[in-house]
């Protein structure tokens, strides 16, 4: 089951439903989601990302890409 969880996290990240800020997973409120996705995202939100320090620039770029003002 752990592989499935990693895949779901990856998919949510790549589609912009979540992003990483300050080393923590955050929900992107600018993306429309379902109640089921909200439930999953709520479980992930606030979790630490272990490779934050080495990938902070990438995570910052990703946040900017998906969390733009409309």
Cα-to-chain-centroid distance, residue 10: 8
Distance separating alpha carbons of residues 70 and 68, to the nearest angstrom: 6
Would you list the domain boundaries of the chain?
2-66
Residue-wise pLDDT tens digits, 22-52:
999 999 999 999 999 999 999 999 999 989 8
Q: Pick from 64, 5, 3, 8: which is nearest to 33 by CA?
A: 8
Q: What is the 3-state secondary structure (H, E, C) of 14-67?
A: HCCCEEEECCEEEECCCCCCCHHHHHHHHHHCCCECCCHHHHHHHHHHHHHHHC
- Please tell me the pTM assigned to this model: 0.84
pLDDT band at 3 (very low <50, low <70, confident <90, very high): low
Residue-wise pLDDT tens digits, 54-67:
999 999 999 999 88
């Amino acid at each position: 089951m752990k592989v499935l969880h990693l895949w779901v996290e990856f998919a949510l990240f790549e589609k912009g439903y979540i992003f990483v800020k300050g080393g923590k997973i955050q929900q992107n409120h600018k993306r429309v989601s379902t109640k089921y996705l909200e439930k999953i995202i709520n479980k992930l939100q606030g979790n630490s990302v272990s490779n934050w320090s080495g990938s902070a620039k990438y995570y910052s770029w990703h946040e900017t890409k998906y969390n733009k003002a409309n």
